[in-house]
């Protein structure tokens, strides 16, 4: 892969931060946007801006065609069987909440179970806590192995005939664990439960095929995969979505409105109340085109190289603890001796290196790891081995700087 | 490269308070306990204060966090101990002014070690770390007023 050519597509990378060329290792929080995405949004606002699904005028038609065209791109991107299964949302959080509010509250009651894992992001924990409180259902956790993986044996013991929903992260944003969601979906289905996959950290890095995974719901965000913030997708199987009530009511989502009663539009629009995130959807469409052009095989092998190189180099640093399994997605979560990750991140930032420090919206997982916070370096297609060398150099400096403290 | 910039943040005195925190621990049940956390990073401070006759008789803290939040808590307990609540609140105000880079008028109050945290104002991402313990103190004092 020609990383230099890729990097030229990301103007933000070409800058100095605190007197050093920027090294951006925080793509799991949000990725940068290539020119193609920025220009697609720019062009929409400069030439096509209009509301969708209502204008008789030419601009309205253009905006609608672009918005709905983005839906078709998403459909192909995740291999959904129909465009009606692709709902635009504000992001992964809204997608999961839509299922929790609409599907779960209508279908769960006392005695029913929701099964998740301790490695979930808060957005795949709290909606289910709220469902449990509202419906009387029980929230259950599949235990983690010491290396931060789940075994299918444990899935089989946790999921029972009372389980109605299994919700699991595809790729952990902290551990980098890639979960066997296809096998878990099969176990869920054997017990009559539906399977929701949180794909926020997988969709940017690997080819997603929702039909092959056979999951019932799949949620992801555009901004972690080169697209804009504020837009994401909820995929759901048509037969489930058809029977679900909308969560938001108002414009755009209605068929007929009477004084005391109304009816909804067909799928997918009944879930898209209000003027949708038109520019966001168009930007997401452009991001999908960009990623397809580079190719997921190419992206995956580049990231695999980066992750292996990072693991190799980081493991040479004395006193550095790495969390998570050996087989992982393209991120490394770690702590440096007794240096608090916040302090590590500040030292690195002073050298122009951006990493994430904190609890990564995964407090239960921090508790499981028996730490209050960690540092995380995450990689994407525009990162290089030199970026990792700079990180390693920075960590040695941080160690040196704080070395005489302890 | 040099670490001049970092040195404005991590002064010797800060590192000393981080390594050897003063007033770490808890007080007996007569005291008031305030929990404060920084939800963006997971830092947690539990502040114990004993207020009698409008004076902060004792102050201790427990918790986990970065060098800035823990050293600030250590310095704060040292600074407010023995002070009148009103003066301690004035210090708290001075401290937040210092954090946003305002010129401060000490108004007869000795800031001593706390001055070392002045450099934090140049690191906006870390200001919340430094103010955590002070926020806990302000919260505790305002709750005390309500309960009286």
| ∠ Cα A195 A300 A25 (to 5°) | 95
Instruction: For A50-292, give the CATH class.
Output: alpha beta
- Cα torsion for B86, B92, B96, B101, to the nearest 10°? 90
Query: For chain B, what is the total number of helices (H) and then of strands (E)?
Result: 5, 3
Is B40 near chain A, with CB under 8 Å?
Answer: yes
Taking CA–CA distances from B70, the nearest residue in chain A reads A340
Residuewise pLDDT in 10s, chain A (406 residues) = 899 999 999 999 999 999 999 999 999 999 999 999 999 999 999 999 999 987 789 999 999 999 999 999 999 999 999 999 999 999 999 999 999 999 999 999 999 999 999 999 999 999 999 999 999 999 999 999 999 999 999 999 999 999 999 999 999 999 999 999 999 999 999 999 999 999 999 999 999 999 999 999 999 999 999 999 999 999 999 999 999 999 999 999 999 999 999 999 999 999 999 999 999 999 999 999 999 999 999 999 999 999 999 999 999 999 999 999 988 899 999 999 879 999 999 999 999 999 999 999 999 999 999 998 999 999 999 999 999 999 999 999 999 888 755 5
Q: B95-111 pLDDT, tens per residue?
A: 999 999 888 877 777 77
Q: Tell which residue, A308, A350, A314, has the closest CA to residue A335.
A: A314
pLDDT value at position A403? 72
Q: How far apart are CA A308 and CA A310, in angstroms?
A: 5
Q: How many CB atoms lie within 10 A of CB A82?
A: 11
Q: How far apart are CA A325 and CA A244, in angstroms?
A: 38
- What mean pLDDT do residues B130-146 have? 88
Matching CATH topology for A3-26+296-405 and A50-292?
no
Q: What's the CATH code, domain B3-147?
A: 3.90.1010.10
Q: Which residues of A are catalytic?
A: 361
Of B3, B40, B67, the CB nearest to A340: B67
What residues in A contact B10, CB-CB < 8 Å? 343, 401
pLDDT value at position A404? 59
Q: Tell which residue, A223, A198, A213, has the closest CA to residue A97.
A: A198
CB contact under 8 A, B123 and A20: no
Res B146 pLDDT > 70: no
CB A52 within 8 A of CB A278: yes
- What mean pLDDT do residues B105-131 have? 85
How is the beta sheet containing B32-38 ordered, strand by strand? B32-38, B43-52, B55-64
CB A45 within 8 A of CB A202: no
CB A375 within 8 A of CB A335: yes
Tokens of A255: 């068929």
Tokens of A290: 């960009």
Q: Tell me how many residue pairs between chain A and chain B have CB atoms under 8 A apart.
A: 56
Backbone torsions φ then ψ of A281, nearest 5 degrees: -65, -40
SS3 B146: helix
- Classified by CATH at the fold level, domain A3-26+296-405 comes out as 3.90.1150
Q: Where are the domains of chain A?
A: 3-26+296-405, 50-292
Report the predicted TM-score, pTM, of the whole model to 2 decimal places.
0.93
pLDDT value at position B105? 77
CB A245 within 8 A of CB A213: no
Is B9 near chain A, with CB under 8 Å?
Answer: yes
Q: How far apart are CA B100 and CA A238, in angstroms?
A: 53
Kindly tell me the burial class for residue A99, based on how many C-beta atoms sit within 10 Å of its own C-beta (0-12, 13-18, 19 or more).
buried
Q: B19-62 pLDDT, tens per residue?
A: 899 999 999 878 999 999 987 777 899 999 999 999 999 999 99
Backbone torsions φ then ψ of B18, nearest 5 degrees: -70, -45
Q: How far apart are CA A230 and CA B112, in angstroms?
A: 46
Of B6, B44, B66, the CB nearest to A350: B6
Q: Tell which residue, A256, A220, A218, A201, has the closest CA to residue A376.
A: A201
């Amino acid at each position: 892969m020609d990383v230099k050519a890729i990097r030229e597509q990301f103007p933000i990378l070409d800058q100095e931060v605190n007197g050093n060329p920027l090294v951006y290792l925080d793509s799991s929080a949000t990725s940068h946007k290539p020119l193609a995405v920025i220009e697609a949004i720019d062009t929409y606002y400069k030439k096509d801006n209009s509301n969708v699904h209502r204008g008789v005028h030419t601009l309205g038609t253009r905006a609608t065609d672009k918005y709905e065209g983005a839906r078709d791109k998403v459909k192909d991107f995740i291999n959904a069987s129909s465009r009606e299964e692709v709902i635009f949302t504000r992001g992964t959080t809204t997608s999961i909440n839509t299922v929790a509010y609409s599907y779960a509250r209508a279908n769960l009651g006392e005695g029913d179970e929701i099964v998740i894992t301790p490695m979930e992001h808060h957005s795949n924990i709290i909606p289910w806590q709220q469902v449990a409180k509202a419906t009387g259902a029980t929230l259950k956790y599949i235990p983690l192995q010491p290396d931060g993986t789940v075994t299918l044996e444990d899935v089989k013991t946790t999921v029972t005939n009372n389980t109605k929903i299994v919700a699991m992260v595809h790729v952990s944003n902290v551990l980098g664990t890639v979960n066997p969601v296809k096998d878990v979906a099969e176990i869920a289905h054997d017990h009559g439960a539906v399977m929701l996959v949180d794909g926020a950290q997988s969709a940017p890095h690997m080819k997603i095929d929702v039909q092959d995974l056979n999951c019932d719901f799949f949620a992801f965000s555009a901004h972690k995969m080169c697209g804009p913030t504020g837009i994401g997708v909820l995929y759901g199987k048509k037969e489930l979505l058809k029977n679900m009530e909308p969560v938001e009511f108002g414009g755009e989502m209605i068929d007929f409105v009477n004084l005391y009663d109304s009816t909804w539009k067909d799928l997918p629009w009944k879930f898209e109340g209000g003027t949708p995130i038109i520019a966001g959807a168009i930007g997401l469409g452009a991001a999908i085109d960009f990623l397809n052009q580079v190719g997921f095989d190419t992206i995956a092998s580049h990231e695999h190289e980066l992750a292996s190189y990072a693991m190799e180099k980081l493991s040479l640093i004395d006193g550095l603890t790495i969390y998570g399994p050996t087989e992982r997605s393209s991120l490394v979560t770690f702590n440096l001796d007794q240096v608090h990750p916040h302090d590590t991140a500040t030292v690195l930032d002073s050298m122009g290196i951006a990493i994430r420090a904190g609890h990564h919206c995964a407090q239960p997982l921090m508790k499981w790891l028996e730490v209050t916070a960690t540092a995380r370096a995450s990689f994407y297609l525009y990162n290089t081995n030199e970026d990792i060398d700079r990180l390693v150099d920075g960590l040695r400096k941080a160690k040196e700087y704080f070395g005489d403290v302890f | 490269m040099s670490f001049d910039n970092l040195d404005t943040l991590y002064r010797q005195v800060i590192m000393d308070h981080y390594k050897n925190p003063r007033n770490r621990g808890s007080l007996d049940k007569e005291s008031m306990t305030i929990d404060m956390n920084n939800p963006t990073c997971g830092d947690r401070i539990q502040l114990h204060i004993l207020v009698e006759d409008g004076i902060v008789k004792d102050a201790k803290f427990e918790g986990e966090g970065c060098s800035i939040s823990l050293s600030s808590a250590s310095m704060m307990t040292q600074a407010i101990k023995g002070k009148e609540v009103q003066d301690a609140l004035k210090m708290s105000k001075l401290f937040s002014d210092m954090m946003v880079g305002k010129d401060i008028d000490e108004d007869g109050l000795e800031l001593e070690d706390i001055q070392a945290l002045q450099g934090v104002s140049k690191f906006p991402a870390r200001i919340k770390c430094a103010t955590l313990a002070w926020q806990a103190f302000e919260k505790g004092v305002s709750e005390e007023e309500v309960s009286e």
